[in-house]
A and B are shown apart, each in its own frame.
Chain A
Amino acid sequence: GNSVTQMEGPVTLSEEAFLTINCTYTATGYPSLFWYVQYPGEGLQLLLKATKADDKGSNKGFEATYRKETTSFHLEKGSVQVSDSAVYFCALSDPGNFNKFYFGSGTKLNVKP
């Protein structure tokens, strides 16, 4: 079946620290991979995506590379800001049905000034 596993949070960092949030997936076939971010009181917002192996998605200083050999899509940012504090969700779209998404349980990031 299809599933996504994320590292448990919360992750607490100081401003300007390096961020990595691990995400691994299980899928039958070749899914598209996504990172969504959810700020307090708001809905999920698409942060970045990658549609095939070795693709790198990037947005707002965040990056993630689709690694087929390790079935991973780790989220990284070189220097976090207080405004990055949010919950981050890794997701995949079902290779057999692109309309169906599977989400990880989310990783809460707290960035302290």
Chain B
Amino acid sequence: DTGVSQDPRHKITKRGQNVTFRCDPISEHNRLYWYRQTLGQGPEFLTYFQNEAQLEKSRLLSDRFSAERPKGSFSTLEIQRTEQGDSAMYLCASSLAAQRTSGRGNEQFFGPGTRLTVL
């Protein structure tokens, strides 16, 4: 399977615990994105990487959230001191570098997501 993979698919935790999710992008993609999706809503952008560099973070990404992509391949998203409001689906996507002039290459390919439930 050469698509985007995420692990785990489901995570149930108690409030105050730390959780970490992993994303493995499509191997030739140099860009990796994290989104959060709550019930009945579309994905909301959290952050993205080009290779190992984190280039942008949304205001949605509080200090309790940290993302890394240490070798420019897989990425991890950690949430510290989880709160019930963190319950959501966390989606990872990857892409090639977008070509601004043609608009080509900026399709994002999504993984199946990690569903987090904070009790």
> A residues bordering B, Cβ < 8 Å?
4, 32, 34, 36, 41-46, 49, 51-52, 89, 91, 93, 97-106
Contacts and interface: CB of A to CB of B under 8 A. Distances in A.
Contact of A32 (B93, B103, B111): B103
Interface in B29-48: 31, 33, 40-45, 48
Contact of B113 (A43, A102, A103): A43
27 contacts: A32-B103, A34-B107, A41-B112, A42-B112, A43-B91, A43-B113, A44-B43, A44-B93, A44-B110, A51-B103, A89-B42, A98-B106, A99-B31, A99-B33, A99-B50, A99-B56, A99-B95, A99-B106, A100-B48, A100-B56, A101-B33, A101-B45, A102-B45, A103-B43, A105-B40, A105-B42, A106-B41
Given A98-B98, A99-B33, A99-B55, A32 B106 contact: yes
B109 interface: yes
B110 A43 contact: yes
Nearest to A52: B103
* Interface pairs A-B: 5 shortest CB-CB: A103-B42, A51-B103, A98-B98, A43-B110, A44-B110
Given A44-B91, A100-B48, A51 B109 contact: no
B91 A105 contact: no
Nearest to A46: B107
Interface residues of B, number: 29
B104 interface: yes
A100 B100 CA distance: 12
Residue among B4, B55, B56, B107 with max Cβ neighbours from chain A (10 Å): B107
A52 B102 CA distance: 9
